[in-house]
Homo-oligomer: A and B are copies of this chain.
Amino acid sequence: MSDNLGTTAPHVSVEPVSVMAPDGTVLDQDFVDTIPEADLVALYEAMLAQRVYDDRMIKMQRQGRLGFYLACTGEEACSYGPAYALQAQDWFYPAYREPGIALWRGMPFQAWIDNMVGNCDDPVKGRQMPVHWTARAQNIVSISSPVGTQIPQCVGSAYAAKLRGDDAVSICFFGEGTSSEGDFHVGLNFAGVWKAPAIFFCRNNGYAISTPYEKTTAAKHIALRAHGYGIRGVVVDGNDILAVIKVVREAAEWGRAGHGATLIEAKTYRIAAHSTSDDPTSYRTREEEAHWGERCPLKRLRAYLETKGLWDEAREQACITASSERVISALGVAEGKPHPDLDTVFDDVFAERPAHLQAQYSELKAHLASGQSAYKPK
């Protein structure tokens, strides 16, 4: 336990927490020792697989097989780390760049892919764009496009758990761009007053689409804002998955101990484009991208595992091949499934379908049957 946690008075620190240097050298062996080697390997494999999924999916989107995709390339540690650090009863509010939350916590891979396609088995029933999945069984809350809205919601869940006497913390993910929204402020302030066991995980990846950090805020660090809410504030090297695990664990302990919330700022970099709708060449340099490419979280963990003899090029290639096959095959399966049923347009608006929606449903059904609709069911 860091001395940052030794007291119940929240503390704000902007010295980035790191466990490994960019070249994989261990800076905090004690912490590394808390994580079984098998887990380190599993985490690396999962991040590498994610990299492969992301690359594949972007290609598929270019081929017109997906409507949209958004990768977490370079930021894998910021979702696999927290997913690993927290417990089954904890609640997650991911943004759109945290696939690791889903996949590490056990959302079925095929369901995740079905969401990318929006087919009849998509957990959200084809209602949202790709990358907006949900996983109730894993306490992972439905992803929203509007950014920041989930921050006060996460505080509500954290408070509810506390009220019920449950030992659960709630964590919310968002980018540094999102931290400019009013909901950020409102949520963190409520969390402070309520001493809610919440963790606010800000991925500072340098950009909000094209907008660089300097145009997002004049604050040196987002974590400094913790001062204004009377909660803990921590900066972490977001490309160091072990450091991420460490700070999330500490934040969870702090919350479970009844001390309240923590704002974590993870410094990382969005190596990929914002999404398949974006082209970063117009707003940043190739040098900058290359610089961060070198510091990517996979390289770092791999270097460590290799020194320990836990990883090698053969395993690397095997993992890449297996992941690639896995995603291609799942995508093929997903593409083979039909569209969600017409009912899905009118269901789940309310618990029961009211008369006016039943009437609209009948009207639309007749329209499709007439053969005059622009929509062709699949």
Contact = CB atoms under 8 A, between A and B. Distances in A.
Interface of A: 180-186, 189, 192-193, 195, 214-220, 222, 224-225, 227-231, 260
Contacts of A215: 193
A230 to B, nearest CB: 3
Given A181-B182, A182-B183, A192-B219, A228 B225 contact: yes
Given A225-B228, A227-B225, A228-B227, A192 B218 contact: yes
A220 B260 CA distance: 15
A123 to B, nearest CB: 31
A178 to B, nearest CB: 12
B227 A227 contact: yes
A182 B220 CA distance: 21
A193 B181 contact: no
Contacts of A227: 219, 224-225, 227-228
Interface centre among A181, A192, A224, A231 (most CB of B within 10 A): A224
Contacts of A186: 180-182, 185
Nearest to A195: B218
Contacts of A222: 228
Nearest to A148: B182
A126 B254 CA distance: 54
A358 B216 CA distance: 46
A230 B214 CA distance: 11
Nearest to A219: B230
A177 to B, nearest CB: 11
Given A184-B185, A193-B218, A218-B231, 14 more contacts: A180-B185, A181-B182, A182-B185, A189-B219, A192-B218, A192-B219, A193-B214, A193-B217, A217-B228, A217-B230, A219-B230, A224-B228, A227-B227, A227-B228
Top 9 closest pairs, chain A to chain B, by CB: A182-B182, A218-B230, A185-B185, A225-B228, A192-B218, A224-B227, A219-B230, A227-B227, A219-B228
A193 B219 CA distance: 8
A182 B190 CA distance: 12
A189 B180 contact: yes
Nearest to A186: B182
Contacts of A220: 230
Nearest to A214: B193
Contacts of A217: 189, 192-193, 228-230
A271 to B, nearest CB: 25
Contacts of A192: 217-219
A217 B214 CA distance: 28
Nearest to A226: B228
B225 A219 contact: no
A256 to B, nearest CB: 18
Contacts of A181: 182, 186
A51 to B, nearest CB: 33
A183 B225 CA distance: 16
Nearest to A182: B182
A228 B184 CA distance: 12
Nearest to A192: B218
Given A180-B189, A184-B185, A185-B185, A218 B229 contact: yes
A186, A219, A228 pick with most chain B CB within 10 angstroms: A228
Contacts of A193: 214-218
A260 B189 CA distance: 25
A217 B181 CA distance: 18
